[in-house]
Amino acid sequence: MRFYNNLTISQKQIVWAWIFLALPVLFYVVIRFYPTANAFVLSFQEWNLLGDRKYVGLENYAKLFSDPVFWKVFKNTFLYLILGTPVSLVLSFIIAYHLDKVRFMHGTIRALYFLPFMTSAVAMAWVWRWFYQPVPIGVFNNFLASFGIGQIEFLSSTTNALPSVLACAVWAGLGFQVIIFMAGLRAIPQSYYEAARIDGVSTWTVLSEITIPLLKPTIVFLVVFSSIGFLRIFDQVFNMTTNNPGGPLNSTKPLVLLIYDTAFNGFNMGYAAAQTVVLFTILLVVSLIQLRLLKDS
Amino acid sequence: MASQDIAVKPFTDALFSGSSRNSRRNMGQFIRWALLFGGGILMIMPIVFMVSTSLKFPFEVYNLNLIPEEPTIENYTYVLEDGRFYRWFVNSLVISIITTASAVFFDALVGYALCKFKFPGRYLVFIAILSTLMIPTEMLVIPWYLMSKSFGWLDTYWGIMFPGVMTAFGTFLMKQFFETVPDDFLEAARIDGLNEFQIWWQVAMPLVRPALAALAIFVFLGNWTAFIWPLIVTNSVEMYTLPVGLSSFGDEVDVAWELIMTGAAISTLPTLVVFLIFQRFIIRGVVMAGLKG
C-alpha cells in the first residue's frame, strides 16, 4: 500500500488501467487471437482429430480450388449476397420512407415490421419450412391451390430452394434495417425539406438530392452489415434442409455449412480450416470494397 | 414524435374531409397507411401461424383457419412434460443471463479503461480488440472446438458460454458512450476519496445506463438465438440450448407440425413478450447500438 501511495497520479492511472484490463486482455489473446492463428496454421495441415497433425503446405487450398462442390458453394454464397442485400435494402428503405410519414398507429405498424427480428432464426426456419411443404401440409401451396394454381416445389427444386431459403432470411432481418433507416431519416434536418418546399422542388428531386445523399452513412452501415450477414448464412439453410443439409444437390449450401460439414461430419480439420480462411478473406475483401465504393461516390 | 391528437388528424381527415385538393392528398395518405399496415400484417403472419398452429389439435393443422376451432394447450403440456424442452429452456436461460451479465460488465470495464485512463499501449489495445470484429466466428469454431476438447469443456455450460463472455462490439459501444461522461464528475469523485473501481461502478456506470441496457438486449438476444457454436459444442440432449434442441426435435417428429410449432413458439414467445412490454425502449436500444456500431 505504501508503494502505491508513493506513485504519481499518472503512474496510478497506469496501474489501474492494467487492473481493469488484465483479465480482458488475457481473454482476447487466448479466445480470439490464439484461435485465429491456430486456424491459419491448421489450414496448412492435415488432421482428422485422431492422428498427428501433418504439414501439407498448400495442399488443402489446391484441393479446395479444384473441388466442384466448393465452386458451387462459392456461387451459392454470393447468390445469397447479391440477391439478399439489394432486395432487403430497397424493401426496408421503401417501408421506412413511408412509415416515417405516417402518424396514425405509427408505433404499432413499426412494431409489426420489427417483431420478426426478435425471433430465433432456427424457430422461424421451421415455420417457413412448414409453409413451403407441398399440399396438403404447406400453407403457401394450400393457399395457391385454393385459387386453382398448381403446386410450386419450393424446397425440393434446385432452382427454387435457394430463393425460398433466402426469403426467410430477408424477412427476419427486414425489421432491423427499417428501424435503422428510420433513425437515419429522423436525423436529416427538417430545414432542408422546408427549403426544398419553398423552392417548389418535386418529391423525386427531394428524394434523390436530399434524402438519399444525406442517408449515405446509414446506407454504408446497412450494406456492410447485411452483406456480412448473407455471406455467413447458416441457421436458415441448416434447418430448412435438415434431412439433407444444403440440398437438394448442394443447391442451397453456403460456405459456412460446407465448413461445418467438413469439420464436424468429415473430421477434415485442416481442410475445413482452409475453407474458413477463404471465408475470412471474402468477408474482408467485400467489406473493404464496399466501404471504399460508398465512401468515394 | 408529434402528440397523439396531431397524429390522428391526417387519418381522420382522409376519411371525412371533402375539399378536392386536400382529399386527394389525404386519399394518398390513406393508401400509404393501408399498404404499410397490410405489409406489417404480412410480416407477422409466420408468427401468427406458428402460435395458432401450436394451439390446434393434429386433425386441424391442415386447416388454414387462424383461429383454432377448438383451441387447446395440449401441445404445450405434451412438449413440456416430455422434459426436454423444459431443460433446453432452462439451459438457454442460464447461458443467456450469465453471458449477458458478464459481457455487459467486462465490455463496460474495458470501454471505460480505454476511454478514461491515459496509459501507454492504450491505442494498441483498442485497435487489437476492434480488429477481432473482422474475424468471423466460423473461423474460430474449429480452434474453439479443439480447445474445448482438450480442456474437457465439451458439453458443459462453460463450453457453450466461454466465447461470449466479452464482446468487441460491446467494448467499442461502451467506449463511445463513456466519452460523453465529463471528466469533472470523475475528478470530483476522486477528490471525495473513491478508488478508481468505485468511480467506474458508482459514478460512471449509472450515467451510461441506457447504453448498458441497449448492449444487454443485444447480447441477450444474440445468445438466446445462437445456433452454430452450441450445435458444435454440445452433444448430449440434456445440454442442448433451445435452438439446437428445436433443430433436433424438428427432425425427429417431421410429420407432427403442431408439435414443431409449439417448440418454435416456446423458443420465440419469451423474447416477443419482452419486446411487446419494452417496445419503445428496445427499439431505441437497437438504434443506439446499430448507429454507434
CB within 8 Å: A238 and B290: no
Q: Is A95 on the interface with B (CB under 8 A)?
A: yes
The torsion angles phi and psi of A46, rounded to 5 degrees, stand at: -120, 130
CB-hemisphere CA count at 13 Å for A120? 31
Distance CA A157, CA A241 (A): 12
Distance CA A69, CA B30 (A): 51
Q: Is A256 on the interface with B (CB under 8 A)?
A: yes
User: Considering only alpha carbons, which residue of chain B is nearest residue A180?
Assistant: B287
- Nearest-Cα distance to chain B for A27, in Å, is 8
pLDDT class of B20 with cuts at 50, 70, 90: low
Is the model's pLDDT at B13 over the cut of 60? no
In sequence order, the 6+-apart residues with CB closer than 8 A to the CB of B195 are: none
Is the model's pLDDT at B292 over the cut of 70? no
How far from chain centre, in Å, is Cα A156? 24
DSSP designation for B19 = -
Distance CA B173, CA B293 (A): 7
Residue in the block written with cell 504519481: A8
Summarize pLDDT for A258-279 with one digit per residue, the tens. Answer: 999 999 999 999 999 999 999 9
Summarize pLDDT for B220-263 with one digit per residue, the tens. Answer: 999 999 999 999 999 999 999 999 999 998 887 667 888 999 99
C-alpha cell belonging to residue A27: 481473454
- Nearest-Cα distance to chain B for A235, in Å, is 7
DSSP-based three-state secondary structure for B188: helix
CB within 8 Å: A130 and B257: yes
- Rounded mean pLDDT, B127-137: 91
Distance CA B268, CA A85 (A): 25
CB within 8 Å: B271 and A120: yes
Q: In chain A, positions 158-217, which contact chain B (CB-CB < 8 Å)?
A: 171, 174-176, 179-180, 183-184
Q: Is A280 on the interface with B (CB under 8 A)?
A: yes
User: Considering only alpha carbons, which residue of chain B is nearest residue A28?
Assistant: B129
pLDDT of residue A129: 92
Looking at per-residue pLDDT, the higher value among A38 and B68 belongs to A38
DSSP-based three-state secondary structure for B291: helix
pLDDT of residue A228: 92
Partners of residue A36 in chain B, C-beta under 8 Å: 132, 135, 139-140, 143
DSSP-based three-state secondary structure for A54: strand
Please state the three-class secondary structure of A243-291 as a single string: CCCCCCCCCCCCHHHHHHHHHHCCCCHHHHHHHHHHHHHHHHHHHHHHH
Summarize pLDDT for B209-229 with one digit per residue, the tens. Answer: 989 998 998 899 999 999 999
- Nearest-Cα distance to chain A for B132, in Å, is 7
CB-hemisphere CA count at 13 Å for A133? 17
DSSP designation for B239 = G
Rounded alpha-carbon distances, angstroms, from residue A69 to A64, A77, A250: 9, 12, 8
The maximal CA–CA distance of chain A, rounded, in angstroms, is: 88
Q: Is A1 on the interface with B (CB under 8 A)?
A: no
Rounded alpha-carbon distances, angstroms, from residue A192 to A100, A135, A198, A210, B188: 16, 54, 10, 7, 42
The torsion angles phi and psi of A52, rounded to 5 degrees, stand at: -85, 155
Choose among A106, A127, A287: nearest Cβ to B261. Answer: A127
CB A246, CB A261: distance < 8 Å: yes
- Nearest-Cα distance to chain B for A159, in Å, is 23
Choose among A27, A127, A136: nearest Cβ to B49. Answer: A127
- Detail the DSSP E strand segments found in A21-179: 45-46, 54-55
pLDDT class of B4 with cuts at 50, 70, 90: very low
CB B170, CB B110: distance < 8 Å: no
Q: Which amino acid is residue B20, in one-letter code?
A: S
Is the model's pLDDT at B1 over the cut of 80? no
Q: What share of chain B in percent tops pLDDT 90?
A: 61
User: Considering only alpha carbons, which residue of chain A is nearest residue B233?
Assistant: A264
CB pairs under 8 A between A and B: 276
C-alpha cell belonging to residue A80: 445469397
DSSP designation for B251 = H
Task: Extract the residue ranges of chain A whose pLDDT is less than 70.
Answer: 1-2, 242, 296-297
- Nearest-Cα distance to chain B for A274, in Å, is 9
pLDDT of residue B21: 61
DSSP-based three-state secondary structure for B149: helix
Q: Which residues pair with A55 in a beta bridge?
A: A45
Partners of residue B146 in chain A, C-beta under 8 Å: 38, 269
Distance CA A180, CA A189 (A): 17
The answer to whether the bond into A248 is cis (omega within 30° of 0) is yes
DSSP designation for A7 = S
C-alpha cell belonging to residue A284: 474482408
User: Considering only alpha carbons, which residue of chain B is nearest residue A176?
Assistant: B286
DSSP-based three-state secondary structure for A55: strand
Distance CA A209, CA A211 (A): 6
From the CB of residue A147, how many other CB atoms can be counted at a distance below 10 Å? 6
- Nearest-Cα distance to chain A for B19, in Å, is 21
pTM score, whole prediction: 0.89
